[in-house]
A and B are shown apart, each in its own frame.
Chain A
């Protein structure tokens, strides 16, 4: 059986970005030490009877790098007492990385960095509320590499205010030439309760047609630059796909630790509420129903460039639907939204852009 991933949520940031709705708060008063100690203790509590077998560890946020290398190491070490990790990722904000950070975490086993670049164009970055400039990002990449961390991912955004073809080109060129091995490119989504959502009229946002065209151009550019697409928003050099994140899309299990962290274990979904106090007072996770059914499988699998194989459906007992599926798939193929492969089918980039509608349609077959 596929091993699980462990996710640790670090809910601290220097400041809130105007588009972000992840659970995070301004870091103050040495909270990071108390929090990290609590998480490490929580992890140690799993030692007796680990809820999962895991091979990836992921620090997400928030801004995990903000809590400092020592805290990251503290949590990592406690986890390593239970699990052997193939991949340990830390999300970093280029503006919140202390000197020597990468050397320290690298020696504790961190072998993957996800850097929140968002854009290589400073004016764009500033409207996204990102504090650091391209220079800092470059510096981070260099020092991570120097510390022996060669698996470096950059986050970029599409459809952000004032974006043009030119600025996006600039960003993508920077990414492909920066030495990064992985790129996550997210189309901006206006999340309720964010500054962007409330001020969307004033933001000079590009329209859907622009973003769609930009996305398609980006996919082929990244492909030709040696970063083939493997998920709707993810691109990597061969062999550098995120092992941890792939678990989400392959219906794998994960154990989430921290407020707002979600878990999926033994067919059950649950999560800690978005409340750090309740979490640190030993609050229990909240039930979020069951998961892993065929609908979920199809919905998540279709996010991947690998798509769905008829064999796998057969194995799951849904082979009888393959004929119906094939008919549907051929319609989408005719319109360039899907590709039919030897044993299955997957969405094309144009199909990814419409994946909500297509997935809904395909899922309704099951």
Chain B
């Protein structure tokens, strides 16, 4: 029962974190009776545990809603959910490219935040019609009219008809659906008779069907039995099934036609064969040109991931492989560390992506991990004219061979109440930021723009920002370019041996202070052992900081007679267990916590 194109609405919901995107989506599902109440799990679209806990959408999902509007006509509303974090900007942009409109949610108690603007601009870049919605009007601190005015002044969106809703209670959510029907354009330009061009905005691995490719059909049609071709890779597959995504199930269909949103399965083995942003066409009648905007997603942040127990190496590999089935942006390759043994060098879109993967490995695969200090990709220009890209400090070339180095720089926007401007500027200054602009969004709120080295924000920038602004500031960034920088590699030596896993690359101005801090942290976190342990931090052969872990003096059971023997034996067993959690470097034992402490240096 195909609906005429004029009755199709393809839209996304965009919002800052916690402004209520998932809750609004849930209410829409209920209102359109897409999901039985008994199946209703709070925030249905975020179906990964982690997503629910963190209140963010990690991967995009889509759902087809049937809605009978007040004009008496039956509409199909395709809701394409977008990931709500800067690490997944590219995926957001592909989801938006699949739509004609976007619902912009703004929290009535908080107003415009960093991602409100970032996502709005992204939506405007894609020429989307934006439907503003003021949410959380049930909160005591809600100021819907002020926030509406803010949206009008700052973004320039007319908020006269913007629904004032409470997604939580469901109040006025029906108005949102009406506005979508009224304001979002139908995909009238979509032409069934042109060669197929379908935009992949997401893909998910399913152990029964293989990869499920989520597409928006821009032109043409596709049905089971067709031979589909990925325009970026040229790979071809025979379509097994096409259909629509419902809230709790897949609904197979005879065909997908222009303007529609749906899924395709074709026994595709990994999501890398169905990359987000790629265009699907038909082998028999291929489109001449792919849809614009495809690019390969490159990991920006790298770190070593090692099993705490070396015996888990294979399990870690399996787990990473499984995660990669569903996450084309995760990269990994085997790596060996003198300190940590066998593990993997993993690449991530950003720090959040890293944390999510790490947490999923630990939770879903029950792995105990040690991760090394995250690194960005540096471009090292050698004297011989060669340029090497380094994402692992271990591979840092001999300084004598280096002509100069470059590091990635981001454009960062921080939105904050104006009383924290001083604190934010101090922080950015401290992180080698270069001030660009400061705009007052409202008399109380500012948008501060800085140019910042990526390696200064991947550790803990966001945490520190939050704590210095009592949680009021929000933050967004995009990679700008590479800039020349004075970099050095810091090595940590324990008992004279370099601990490769603790090496990292840093701006030379910061090296001394950092080195001292690392030395202190290690000293505090390495328990006294049988021998004195010198801790040294060096650049090349030059030691710039040192500390000593004094030798332990006394660890002895003074009395050991008849009744003490079993007890002592059990103690020995316990000690053995404790040792398993230790990393051994020659005769030095370093507890996992010491690694963590070095990672979280700035707290």
Contacts and interface: CB of A to CB of B under 8 A. Distances in A.
B565 A354 contact: no
Interface string A332-362: 1001010000000000000011111111100
B562 to A, nearest CB: 4
Interface stretch (A40-48, A174-182, A260-268): A260-268
7 contacts: A232-B557, A254-B562, A256-B563, A261-B563, A269-B566, A295-B569, A359-B572
A243 B505 CA distance: 63
A189 B557 contact: yes
Given A248-B560, A295-B572, A335-B530, A269 B565 contact: yes
A262 to B, nearest CB: 4
Interface in A41-57: none
Interface in A281-311: 288-289, 291, 295-296, 299-300, 303
A337 B558 contact: no
Contacts, number: 101
Given A269-B566, A289-B566, A337-B530, A354 B559 contact: no
B556 A353 contact: yes
A182 B531 CA distance: 32
> Top 4 nearest A-B pairs by Cβ distance?
A212-B553, A262-B562, A262-B563, A208-B554
B571 A356 contact: yes
A217 to B, nearest CB: 13
Contacts of B530: 332, 335, 337, 354, 357-358
Interface in A200-242: 208-209, 211-213, 215, 232-233
Chief secondary structure at chain B's binding surface? loop
Contacts of A353: 553-556
B562 A7 contact: yes
B600 interface: no
A226 to B, nearest CB: 22
B558 A296 contact: no
A75 B546 CA distance: 64
B565 to A, nearest CB: 7
Given A335-B530, A337-B530, A359-B572, A300 B565 contact: yes
Contact of B557 (A208, A261, A335, A356): A356
A31 interface: no
A291 B571 contact: no
B576 A335 contact: no
A363 interface: yes
A357 B568 contact: no
B480 interface: no
A355 B553 contact: no
Nearest to A334: B531
Nearest to B575: A360
Contacts of B553: 208-209, 211-213, 353-354
A363 B576 CA distance: 10
Contacts of B569: 295-296, 299
Contacts of A288: 566
B556 A271 contact: no
Contacts of B208: none
Contacts of A332: 530
Contacts of B565: 248, 262, 264, 269, 291, 296, 300
A199 interface: no
Interface of A: 7, 60, 186-189, 208-209, 211-213, 215, 232-233, 245, 248-249, 254, 256, 260-264, 269, 271, 288-289, 291, 295-296, 299-300, 303, 331-332, 335, 337, 352-360, 363-364
Given A331-B587, A358-B530, A245 B561 contact: yes
A233 B558 CA distance: 6
B561 A354 contact: no
B552 interface: yes
Contacts of B529: 357
Given A299-B569, A357-B530, 15 more contacts: A189-B559, A209-B554, A232-B557, A254-B562, A262-B563, A263-B562, A300-B565, A337-B530, A357-B555, A360-B575, A360-B576, A360-B579, A363-B572, A364-B576, A364-B579
Nearest to A208: B554
Contact of B554 (A212, A271, A363): A212
A248 B562 contact: yes
A280 to B, nearest CB: 19
Contacts of A256: 562-563
Contacts of B562: 7, 248, 254, 256, 261-264
B99 to A, nearest CB: 62
Contacts of A213: 553
A249 B564 CA distance: 11
A295 B576 CA distance: 13
A211 B554 CA distance: 8
Nearest to A292: B565
A303 B572 CA distance: 14
B403 to A, nearest CB: 44
A186 B556 contact: no
A260 B529 CA distance: 35
Contacts of B559: 186, 189, 233
Contacts of B560: 232, 248-249, 300, 303
B495 to A, nearest CB: 12
A295 B571 CA distance: 13
Contact of A232 (B556, B571, B576): B556
B587 A187 contact: no
B587 A356 contact: no
Contacts of B554: 187, 208-209, 211-212, 215, 353-354
B424 to A, nearest CB: 43
Nearest to B566: A288
Q: Interface centre among B552, B554, B560, B569, by most A CB within 10 Å? A: B554
A274 to B, nearest CB: 10
Contacts of B557: 189, 232, 355-356
Nearest to B555: A356
A352 B554 CA distance: 9
Contact of A354 (B555, B568, B575, B587): B555
Contacts of B566: 262, 269, 288-289, 291
B532 to A, nearest CB: 9
A271 B561 CA distance: 13
Nearest to B529: A357
B558 to A, nearest CB: 4
Contacts of B552: 354, 357
Contacts of B561: 60, 245, 248
B558 A187 contact: yes
A174 to B, nearest CB: 20
A352 B553 CA distance: 10
A195 B526 CA distance: 31
Q: Interface centre among A60, A187, A213, A354, by most B CB within 10 Å? A: A354
Contacts of A248: 560-562, 565
Contacts of A296: 565, 569
B2 to A, nearest CB: 72
A303 to B, nearest CB: 6
Contact of A355 (B531, B556, B587): B556
Contact of B556 (A7, A249, A352, A364): A352
B478 to A, nearest CB: 52
Nearest to A360: B575
Nearest to A269: B566
Contacts of B575: 356-357, 360
Nearest to B563: A262
